[in-house]
Amino acid sequence: MAIEVRIPTILRTYTDGAKAVEGSGGTLSALIDDLEGNHPGIKERLVEDKSGSVDLRRFVNVYINDEDVRFIGGLDAELADGDQVVVLPAVAGG
């Protein structure tokens, strides 16, 4: 099952400079594990341990087919073949 994942500039060090990579998984969580297999280190940049459970990092946005995953189940958001996933770090500061 192929899912296109768009990688932001800051994370392209994990993808040999590729702007997009392919991955697979029935949920966002499974997709991230799959990406980690091919691009070691990337998972750590996307998720963090929050009081015992793993969650998306606060300042990382992930979209499935243009929907912010925070509104569709977060790491449990479902994925299907042909979906497009976009990862964008928040543009934020103090």
Partner 1 sequence: MLTIEQEIYDAIVAHARRDHPDEACGVVAGPEGSDRPERFIPMVNAAGSPTFYEFDSTELLALYKDMDARDEEPVVVYHSHTATEAYPSRTDIGLASEPNAHYVLVSTREHGNSEGPVEFRSYRIIDGVVTEEEVTITPTQKTQEASTP
Which window, 25-33, 34-42, 65-73, 74-82, contacts partner 1 (CB under 8 A)? 65-73
User: Of 14 and 63, which CB lies nearer to partner 1 in the complex structure?
Assistant: 63
**What is the spatial distance between Cα 65 and Cα 93, in angstroms, rounded to a whole number?**
27
Q: Please identify which residue in 27, 33, 68, 72 interacts with partner 1, judged by CB under 8 A.
A: 68
User: Does 74 help bind partner 1 (rule: CB under 8 A)?
Assistant: no
Q: Tell me: does residue 88 bind partner 1 (CB under 8 A).
A: yes
Burial letters 42-54, b for 16+ CB under 10 A, else e: bbebbbeeeeeee
Q: Which of 26, 88, 19, 21 shows the shortest CA–CA distance to 59? A: 88
Of positions 46, 56, 63, 75, contacts partner 1 by CB under 8 A? 63
